[in-house]
Copies of this chain bind each other. A is one copy, B any other.
Amino acid sequence: MTFEGISEIAEATPSKIVLYVVDGLGGLPDPKTGRSELETARTPNLDALAAESALGLTDPVAPGVTPGSGPGHLGLFGYDPERFLIKRGVMEAMGIGLDLAPGEIAARGNFCTIDARGNVTDRRAGRIPTADSAPLCEALDSIIVEGASVAVHPVRDHRFVVLFRGDGLGDDVTESDPQKEGAPPLELRALAPGSEKMAAVAREFAEKAREALSGRDRANMVLLRGFSRLPDIPSMAQRFRLNPAAIATYPMYRGLARIVGMRLIETGTSIADEVETLAEHFHEHDFFFIHFKPADSAGEDSNFDAKVQALEMADTAIPRLRELGPDVIVVAGDHSTPSVLGAHSWHPVPYLLHSKYSGRDGVAEFSERACARGSLGRFPAVQSLPLAMANALKLAKFGA
């Protein structure tokens, strides 16, 4: 699926690639109109760009597979998402902007409610509001365990992240969430020899959390899962000889970019801010990842009209982006988020590639159906980065 020898043919050049990721880009037709969000939205700038570009559809992971944000982005960054899996604890830590150090283990935590016999009666402690859970996190943060330091960070409602730092901590540990009510939390166990210390530390933490929360009638225990560390991923500099930067407002996407070695550039909160940030730093890098979130959020809310508006907003970035004159512009999505599903989905994602050498399909429409007829065909998203690099003349000939 991917060309393994890419590092050997990658060349550092001054040419510039901009990867514009419209999160949750793809959709499905509104049953009333027969038109998808992208087909309904007025996107004159994307349509005009499409006419001068090659179009296609990407499969983020594989046909039928619905990706989370991690696999969806890693594929577009040029990493096989099945091989480089980022587990739940790390993703959650990233989502709140925590800076994981190598060797550190992140776990996702839930406050839950247990009865007098220790059985879980509510796995989410009634979705206790953040205002109530934040002080509880502070209490947990002061727990001291043997062999590791512990830091507890609130996420939202009943959710938090625990970071464990210490020597010899592995991340192959079972979860304590019994996944049903009426049963006690499961024992945290090591699944591999290198994770035994981590399991012991986690058990001690859970027991001390039980003590710290005792006497409360709800949110009186914690459930832990998704023990994970930063994955071992070669940087984009190592793998592709790129000097990459990320312009994103949400912590999770900034975290994902940092994992593959992108420099994070501070920016504002709107897509206009992001494009201005791009303009300011345009001379400093040869690869830029720009992330646009609202289309996914609206799709997840099943709000067709809001997704249409979000896509119209995404469209406004294009003129300024083109003005900067990057050698290659890619407009892609990390996955589809059809409003009719209200969730990420498996559907292939519209894709646009513009360069001097991309050819042009001559179709002035950026949509699921126009892209299905595009000259790039349907392809795994992990092939996007090599394709963009080729169009930026950053890949040498393979073989004599």
Interface residues of A (CB under 8 A from B): 1-5, 9, 28-29, 34, 57, 61-71, 81-82, 85-88, 91-92, 226, 338, 340-341, 343-348, 357, 359-362, 368-369, 372-379, 383, 385-391, 395-400
Q: Is the CB of B375 within 8 A of A369?
A: yes
State the main secondary structure of chain A at its contact with B. loop
Q: Does B341 contact A357, Cβ atoms closer than 8 Å? A: yes
Q: Give CA–CA (A259, B334) in the complex, Å.
A: 38
Beyond A62-B386, A377-B57, A395-B346, whether A3 also contacts B82 by CB under 8 A is: yes
Name the B residues within 8 Å of A92 (CB-CB).
Answer: 400
| CB < 8 Å neighbour of A67 from B71, B347, B387, B399 | B399
Q: A3-B62, A3-B64, A390-B65 are in contact. Are A81 and B357 (CB under 8 A)?
A: no
- Cβ contacts under 8 Å, A343 to chain B: 397
Nearest 10 CB-CB pairings of A with B: A64-B386, A91-B400, A377-B378, A64-B390, A68-B399, A3-B62, A64-B387, A71-B399, A346-B390, A372-B375
Partner of A65, one of B3, B361, B379: B3
Known A-B contacts A398-B68, A399-B71; A387 and B61 likewise in contact (beta carbons under 8 Å): no
Given contacts A62-B386, A66-B395, A390-B346, contact A359 B28 (CB under 8 A): yes
- Closest residue to A359 on the B side, CB-wise? B28
From A65, A360, A377, A399, residue with most partner B Cβ within 10 Å? A399
Q: A395-B66, A400-B68 are in contact. Are A387 and B3 (CB under 8 A)?
A: no
Q: List 13 A–B pairs whose Cβ atoms lie within 8 Å, in order of A's numbering.
A: A28-B357, A28-B359, A34-B362, A61-B398, A63-B383, A64-B387, A65-B395, A66-B396, A66-B397, A67-B397, A71-B399, A88-B400, A378-B379
B62, A2: Cβ atoms closer than 8 Å: yes
Complex interface: chain B residues within 8 A of A344 (CB): 397
Known contacts A28-B359, A345-B357, A357-B28; is A390 also within 8 Å of B1 by CB? no
* Least CB distance, A63 to chain B, in whole angstroms: 4
Q: Which residue of B lies closest to A85 (CB)?
A: B399
